[in-house]
Structure 1
Amino acid sequence: MMREFVITSIKDERILFQLNACLDGELTEEWGERTLRFDNEIGKGVIRNIGFDWGVSLLDCDVTFYKDVKLVFKTTSVSPIEFVFISKGSFKYGQDDSEEYLDLEQFQNIILSPKRYAKKTFLFPAGKDLKVNFIRILRKDYLKKKNNNVTYLNDLLLSVFNDAEGNEPYSHGGSFNLKIADEVKALEKVHDNGMMRTLSLEGRIYLILSLQLLEHHNFEMSESLPESLTKEDIKKIHRLSEYILDNISGPLSVDILSTESGLSPKKLQLGFKVLYSKTVNEYIRQLKLEISRDYLKTTNLSVSEIVYEVGIKSRSYFSKIFTEAYGILPTDYRKQLKVSKSTT
């Protein structure tokens, strides 16, 4: 059964307070950071928030919910512009009670600016680890900043910043970018105390924000960054993973796969890193091992026949990488399976 939580404020401290009322956790504050920790039947995780000058703040979440959660922001104030980046997991976003939701995915550059009075809704799936940070900008406050330079933004994003009353909704689900992911990871590793910590966090937040703005600009100009993938690129990688499975016994070099997918070798490697956290060769090797283990378990094929079926060059090399992966020789693995079957 889905749990629904309603937030009625855009102010950072009120959001954490209301979330704590829903999640029944522990809320603490140190060096201007508010941290909410919870671990109960709803789920477990840490949500932290820190605000800076000129209406910029960070809301950072590392959570796992045990039930589907619907988080609804129902306010009368103009919502902040939110620059969203998901380091792990995925969730959905919608406005009002529409049945249409946007899928927000791992490593995707996302910008959200809901219409004033609209209900902003996030759907978080049960049982999935989620790491996501929201850089939130209150546009009226930010426009008071000296040298804010928003006029250098492209026309589309400039209109979002200048929409002081929140009359026009906007959402951007852009490219998939590992450079931003690396900077977010560095943000998580800031362990300084006091003033040094605050300055480090603020500096990294502005760096991440600048990368997200650059991705948005290039996306709108139909240009791509070296570290970025489009949704079409991601679809090609998905199709390529099916091709690899269907041709597991044949040659599967990066050059062959690049020709098959129409992606450059660099894009190919980046795509596998984004989707599977592996290089192309690491992904193929793991797949070959998983298929061979299944053959050992469910067929009477000899080890030599299995080696041929999965396209590995030699039996000795297969035994070596199988043992490294599973801690047992393939022949001993099969013997172990036979023993366990005979005793059941």
Structure 2
Amino acid sequence: MKKIQVQSLPLYEVIRDIAEAFGSSYDENCGEYHLNLPENIGKGFIKGINFDGGFGILIYQCTFFNDVEIQFNVNKTHPLKFLYCLNGELSHRFQNGEELNTINQYQSAIVASKNYNGHILHFKANTETQIGSLEIDREQFQEKVRCELSSLHPELKTLFTDYKATNQFYYSGDYSLYIADLFKRIEEFENNDFVRRIFLEGQAYEILTNQIIQYHDDHNDSKNRSLLRRSELDIVKNAASLIENSLNDLETIDVMAENLGINVNKLQHGFKYLYGCTVNMYIQKQRLDLAKTLLTKTDFNISEIVERIGLSSKSYFSKVFKEMYSISPSEFRTNHKKRTT
């Protein structure tokens, strides 16, 4: 395992220390510092930028050839960190502790060390890992948002105002779909001038804003949480697969959501995000797609097709089919037969 000592702050000095440990160099452009991993260390990069008010962001997009441990050991209060695992996995422990906490893909962690104790980040070898880290100097930051801090959840208010680091803090959970999209925008933004700095600062603050909203949402009962987490997209995809495979025997949306362990609002949000429609619209589209297949590939009569797609009314089926395709089911079948013969 390769161990790297980072003994400096702020972020540009962090990049400098890592570059020195790798025997490499780094680039600077408009306050953004970028380090490409040397070929003997791995593939990818580490980059960071500081904004006004003690706020900054680090991005690790790395595949290391050996296990790498970055040890942040500075003889001063360490920044409050919001860690987001966008790909791969990351392990974290406090400098004065033994417990190693793993942050998996689609998970985030809020970490604050006590006194001058540092943070240890562990990257697994040969694992494509992408980490976003919001870094906040609480003493500087609270001067900027002192009034607004009063509206935070009590635990967060204590965390943000603890600029002397009298308490250790660790909190993890699945981050929201919207936060995932914000990091994707950062990754895809290519402008390299003044506009980029403004954009990055705006995105970083928006990530922080949505993390605070999510923290409040996390403290609601699971059935009352409104934010869709990135990890819950698989549940939405399972719901879509369930619909496709059991059109003639579907449960209600409420029952389906309960069986899948997700609330109805988040299920609807997931369908709009993935498929651009509500659950009912998705069901109807799947039914009509299946009806088209049965009309062209089988000799089932209309009543049999209506039953197989999970409807009970021929007239309703004809109505929605014509609304969708501007032609009746019978005419659609007749025209298809003419084309094929």
Is 1:229–1:267's contact at 8 Å kept on the other side of the alignment?
no
Alignment-mate amino acid for residue 17 of structure 1: R
TM-superposed deviation, 1:98? 3.4
Whole-angstrom distance in 1 between the partners of 2:193 and 2:122? 35
TM-superposed deviation, 1:123? 1.3
- Please name the residue that 1:226 is paired with: 227
TM-superposed deviation, 1:143? 1.6
Whole-angstrom distance in 2 between the partners of 1:254 and 1:73? 54
- Please name the residue that 1:140 is paired with: 139
1:293-337 per-residue CA deviation (whole Å, 9 max, x = no partner) reads xxxxxxxxxxxxxxxxxxxxxxxxxxxxxxxxxxxxxxxxxxxxx
Residue 35 of structure 2 is aligned to residue 48 of structure 1: no
TM-superposed deviation, 1:116? 2.0
Is 1:109–1:215's contact at 8 Å kept on the other side of the alignment?
no
Alignment-mate amino acid for residue 191 of structure 1: E
Is 2:91–2:101's contact at 8 Å kept on the other side of the alignment?
yes
Mean alpha-carbon deviation: is it higher for 123-132 or for 190-199?
A: 190-199
TM-superposed deviation, 1:148? 5.4
TM-superposed deviation, 1:268? 6.8
Q: Which has the larger radius of gyration?
A: 2
TM-superposed deviation, 1:110? 2.0
Whole-angstrom distance in 2 between the partners of 1:229 and 1:189? 18
Alignment: residue pair count: 265
TM-superposed deviation, 1:174? 2.1
Whole-angstrom distance in 2 between the partners of 1:127 and 1:270? 35
- Please name the residue that 2:38 is paired with: 39
Is 1:84–1:132's contact at 8 Å kept on the other side of the alignment?
yes
1:271-311 per-residue CA deviation (whole Å, 9 max, x = no partner) reads 99xxxxxxxxxxxxxxxxxxxxxxxxxxxxxxxxxxxxxxx
| SS at structure 2 position matched to 1:145 | helix
1:1-49 per-residue CA deviation (whole Å, 9 max, x = no partner) reads x111111123212111110012233301111111111232221211111
In structure 2, the gaps of 5 or more residues are 272-341
Alignment-mate amino acid for residue 225 of structure 1: S
Summarize the alignment of residues 74-89 of structure 1 with structure 2, pairs less than 5 Å apart. 74-89=73-88
- Please name the residue that 1:124 is paired with: 123
TM-superposed deviation, 1:133? 1.1
Residue 25 of structure 2 is aligned to residue 26 of structure 1: yes
Identity of aligned residues (%): 25
- Please name the residue that 1:150 is paired with: 149
- Please name the residue that 2:324 is paired with: none
Is 2:50–2:56's contact at 8 Å kept on the other side of the alignment?
yes
Whole-angstrom distance in 2 between the partners of 1:229 and 1:146? 29
1:180-203 per-residue CA deviation (whole Å, 9 max, x = no partner) reads 100110112222232211111111
Is 1:10–1:77's contact at 8 Å kept on the other side of the alignment?
no
- Please name the residue that 2:321 is paired with: none
Whole-angstrom distance in 1 between the partners of 2:262 and 2:120? 36
TM-superposed deviation, 1:257? 7.3
TM-score normalised by structure 1 residue count: 0.67
CA RMSD of aligned residues (A): 3.3
Is 1:108–1:173's contact at 8 Å kept on the other side of the alignment?
yes
1:146/1:90 CA distance change after superposition, 3 Å: closer
Whole-angstrom distance in 1 between the partners of 2:147 and 2:206? 15
Alignment-mate amino acid for residue 167 of structure 1: T
- Please name the residue that 2:159 is paired with: 160
1:185/1:70 CA distance change after superposition, 3 Å: same
1:219/1:264 CA distance change after superposition, 3 Å: closer
TM-superposed deviation, 1:77? 0.8
- Please name the residue that 1:189 is paired with: 188
TM-score normalised by structure 2 residue count: 0.68
- Please name the residue that 2:207 is paired with: 208
1:165/1:66 CA distance change after superposition, 3 Å: same
Whole-angstrom distance in 2 between the partners of 1:38 and 1:59? 15
TM-superposed deviation, 1:229? 6.8
Alignment-mate amino acid for residue 8 of structure 2: S
| SS at structure 2 position matched to 1:132 | strand
In structure 1, the gaps of 5 or more residues are 245-249, 273-344
Residue 96 of structure 2 is aligned to residue 100 of structure 1: no
Whole-angstrom distance in 2 between the partners of 1:91 and 1:146? 30
TM-superposed deviation, 1:165? 0.9
- Please name the residue that 2:280 is paired with: none
Is 2:226–2:266's contact at 8 Å kept on the other side of the alignment?
no
Alignment-mate amino acid for residue 136 of structure 2: I
Residue 16 of structure 2 is aligned to residue 17 of structure 1: yes
1:248-287 per-residue CA deviation (whole Å, 9 max, x = no partner) reads xx96998697565443577579999xxxxxxxxxxxxxxx
Is 1:142–1:148's contact at 8 Å kept on the other side of the alignment?
no
